[in-house]
Structure 1
């Protein structure tokens, strides 16, 4: 006859708890995952060089935008560009803008739109001249009309034959108003049809605050913002036909007709003019690109000045801009090797930092202090020295840059002793997974 013995029951229960406890404790501490490291984000020390913003005009409106930068860094020679021909519906933010944000009359900058829209509809292969165009009585009458009122014109006669390239050279280099109308009529059938196509082209290229109502810009309603027109300069400068035309301007056109280059202005400052003009409503307007170089790296930007009161004012403002460019452009250690963006601490006391492994430098204009970097980090418990533990991203002068973050010191396994002595931490890590 058995009898109930409480002591034995307690012993059985205690033994069961011990066995179950050891069954969980052992695997959890010896085989379970380690707790992830604790992360603290940090900000590297700022560069000692203060930003040097562009000096823009106090007159009318002005803007500049990155066109291209070429530099050599530890990862090799890199070239970047913010604008490209037919760039689509988006454009990069300008480096700087000054004056009114409203659209202003743009004078002969409208002829740059005419040239690009015609080239879009009637492209010329690189090195070619395009088709031959036979001029009409309407083209001759257009020349007479502009010449009579003293507007810029280049002589033509009915039945003359000009190549498309010659028509565009007279339009851009000579700022010929009659050639603007002639090439638009040839390409689109009429000036009215051209105007519709041109405004569609402007919208397609993201220049939504600019509109044209004629081919020449003599009409005050052909107007644009400085931001749009700075990007227009980039589109013109990167078009192979226009850029070739500007780099090797013609002095004679069809039938040895002479043409005066109206675009050149302050080339000794590193400036390449695209359009330079004046009307009573628009004032002096200038579309251009400019370059700063140290002999190894170069930085090119596009720009627009509209509404300058005089050519003397344009000279002073453009000279001041280029002085600020030479002061502000340089090789920037955007993401310096060894810069720390996070620190890690393990539960067992090991510490390490996430640092930039390979430097990213850019020959750029330090116009403003860069925005804070975005850091993405991986979860880990242990990792060797040099392991990739994340990435840092930031935007400089409109360009998005990134670099891998490496572990400057390894974080190793704490060993069996630490695991056995920290059951709560280990079991928590197991439950977290």
Structure 2
């Protein structure tokens, strides 16, 4: 518009708006004034602070608590405390419920080689060892089952039968037997027939014990007859009684028809003679007599034992026999020897029958006894260091348990050993005692110590942490 232009008339609309604004302001001021009584004095300021965009919240400068911090940190600390407590308990808990134990293992038995006696070239023979009855019939090895004349070995049967009827204990002498000149004549008749006999004390007497000494040491046929006649008046009665006695005592292979052995029909197998010898040595009176090298008897004087092997170490008897059969000399010997091996005594037996001379009889018996000694003293040993068990732990530390010394037993003729262990673990170091191992044979046994071969390791921390139920003894 130019200066010459006339003024523009006001817009009615603008006028209306201005009028309305003025009216509104007036109303607002009126409302404020009307409510001023209900507001605190600071209200206008608070309103102005709120309306002022440059004025901050009163709490903007204060530290604020995070809701996440309260819900996470607390439980985390509890969990950590529980874990720490669990670890401490399991790592320090004593091993009472899971202590190491010992488990034995089988040890292979030892087995003796089969015996192979060197039998004499002539006649027959047998050997035996007490305690090894299971290795062969009655523990006897024999060259043949054929019977041969017993000769004076028969007197063992006579002595045993007399003692059954008229027993003696060691130290007892028994009843006395009186002798007259007739008895001396009888003695000379025996000698005239070539039989073994001993003189008698005419007008004197011999006790039962002395009679048995003359019978078994001097092999006197006249003493045999005198003892037997008081109970069995004839050979037929004696034969029947002897058969009953042998059967009652379980001795087979022996036939006896008279008490002295002069009859060649008195016969026995080598095994039967071994059994008879064993039975005789079970009687302490007979055992004492047959081990006596020499005796002085009234009437007879000094009498030497006919068993030459009594001079050999360990020989304890028992009886010889000699007889001529069909013009041929027959010599027999039943003998026994106690063999000491370590701290064990083993009784061995050898019988030789129908040998052509007393020298061959003695040498053959000695050879058989020597072979028995060699076989019995052959070492059968479980050596030191043999594994006899192991330590068992729940965490896998399982060192072996081994013997600390040799264990030996006596074996013969295919006999086998057995073994057992008594094991326990009380200490954890290598070499700690862990019980005993026992090796057993038919006649002896040996017990040796066993020890842990290596240190038993402690369970690892990981094992403790991962096996609480075992550690606390709640499960096996």
3-state SS of the aligned residue for 2:230? Answer: helix
- Give CA-to-partner distance per residue, 1:217-270, whole Å, 9 cap, x none: 334443333234234334444644334434444554333456454233473576
Normalised by the length of structure 1, the TM-score is: 0.64
Partners of 1:92 and 1:127 in 2: CA distance: 37
1:318 paired with 2:383, answer no
Partners of 2:122 and 2:207 in 1: CA distance: 39
The partner residue of 2:108 within 43, 47, 51 is 43
Alignment of 1:199-238 (within 5 A): 199-203=243-247, 205-237=249-281
Which residue of structure 1 aligns with residue 352 of structure 2?
Answer: 305
Which residue of structure 2 aligns with residue 97 of structure 1?
Answer: 141
Alignment of 1:61-72 (within 5 A): 61-66=124-129
Q: Give the 3 Å change call, closer, same or farther, for CA 153–374 of structure 1 in structure 2.
A: same
Partners of 1:325 and 1:151 in 2: CA distance: 34
Which residue of structure 1 aligns with residue 166 of structure 2?
Answer: 122
Q: Give the 3 Å change call, closer, same or farther, for CA 32–345 of structure 1 in structure 2.
A: closer
- Give CA-to-partner distance per residue, 1:9-45, whole Å, 9 cap, x none: xxxxxxxxxxxxxxxxx9xxx998899887653438x
Partners of 1:348 and 1:295 in 2: CA distance: 44
Greater shift in the superposed pair: 173-182 or 255-264: 255-264
3-state SS of the aligned residue for 2:336? Answer: strand
Which residue of structure 2 aligns with residue 394 of structure 1?
Answer: 440
- Give CA-to-partner distance per residue, 1:287-343, whole Å, 9 cap, x none: 112355699987652321123233343244234335435644548465555433445
Greater Cα radius of gyration, structure 1 or 2: 2
Cα drift, residue 405 of structure 1 = 7.3
The partner residue of 1:164 within 197, 205, 208 is 208
Unaligned runs of 5+ in 1: 1-25, 68-81, 84-88
Q: Give the 3 Å change call, closer, same or farther, for CA 37–126 of structure 1 in structure 2.
A: closer
- Give CA-to-partner distance per residue, 1:336-355, whole Å, 9 cap, x none: 55433445665643334454
Alignment of 1:250-289 (within 5 A): 250=294, 252-256=296-300, 259=303, 261-265=305-309, 267=311, 271=315, 273-279=317-323, 280=325, 283-289=330-336
Partners of 1:148 and 1:339 in 2: CA distance: 70
Partners of 1:149 and 1:309 in 2: CA distance: 21
Q: Give the 3 Å change call, closer, same or farther, for CA 118–91 of structure 1 in structure 2.
A: farther
The partner residue of 1:350 within 366, 389, 397 is 397
- Give CA-to-partner distance per residue, 1:378-421, whole Å, 9 cap, x none: 8x9x76553448x64532xx415364774535768857853775
Which residue of structure 1 aligns with residue 463 of structure 2?
Answer: 418
Cα drift, residue 112 of structure 1 = 1.5
Cα drift, residue 132 of structure 1 = 0.4
Unaligned runs of 5+ in 2: 1-89
Cα drift, residue 165 of structure 1 = 2.0
Greater shift in the superposed pair: 168-177 or 191-200: 191-200
Normalised by the length of structure 2, the TM-score is: 0.59
Q: Which one has a larger percent helix, Structure 1 or Structure 2?
A: 2
Partners of 2:345 and 2:421 in 1: CA distance: 32
Cα drift, residue 168 of structure 1 = 1.3
Q: Give the 3 Å change call, closer, same or farther, for CA 368–258 of structure 1 in structure 2.
A: closer
- Give CA-to-partner distance per residue, 1:88-122, whole Å, 9 cap, x none: x9999766623113444322111022223323432
Q: Give the 3 Å change call, closer, same or farther, for CA 283–296 of structure 1 in structure 2.
A: same
Partners of 1:93 and 1:129 in 2: CA distance: 37
Partners of 2:464 and 2:218 in 1: CA distance: 83
Partners of 1:140 and 1:166 in 2: CA distance: 17
1:373 paired with 2:418, answer yes
